[in-house]
Amino acid sequence: MIVALHGAEFFAYHGFYPEEQHTGNCFIVDIEVEFEPDGSNGLSSDNLKDTVNYEELYHICGRRMQQPQKLIETVATFIMEDIKAQYSFAEKITVSIKKLNPLAGAKVKYTQITINYTR
């Protein structure tokens, strides 16, 4: 099973250059968490504790996006580590972050990094 959060938008102050850290930018985060439901009751329990809560994924992103970093690779790694800590049963996690309009004076729609974890 995969629970995903796609297109979560945040305004944050990540960036290597001081002007990026001062003016901020728009970021888009995508997350996919793959896991096998518990064999004893699967998801027939209809209980949120037996799955990945996409609302919590959003809150994890929000907390990390508000902590400025120079590299979005670092932000993605922290998000992934928080997801692993919250959902120890996760078998695969993919976190992608897009930075919109990343280069002043250049015509670039976005840059993107993607990190993967497999247990």
Domain segments of the chain: what residues? 2-118
Q: Rounded to an integer, what distance in angstroms lies between the CA atom of residue 98 and that of residue 96?
A: 7
At residue 79, does pLDDT exceed 60?
A: yes
The three-class DSSP label of residue 77 is: helix
Please determine, for residue 47, whether its predicted confidence score (pLDDT) is greater than 60: yes
Assess whether pLDDT exceeds 80 at residue 1. yes
Q: Which of 98, 99, 107, 109 is catalytic?
A: 99
Closest CA to 115 of 85, 86, 76: 76
Return the amino acid letter for 72: I
**pLDDT over 80 (residue 44):** no
Question: Looking at the domain that runs over 2-118, which CATH code has it been given?
Answer: 3.30.1130.10
Q: Say whether 99 is catalytic.
A: yes
pTM value? 0.89
pLDDT for 43: 66
Selection from 32, 48, 52 nearest residue 94 by Cα:
32
pLDDT at 117: 97
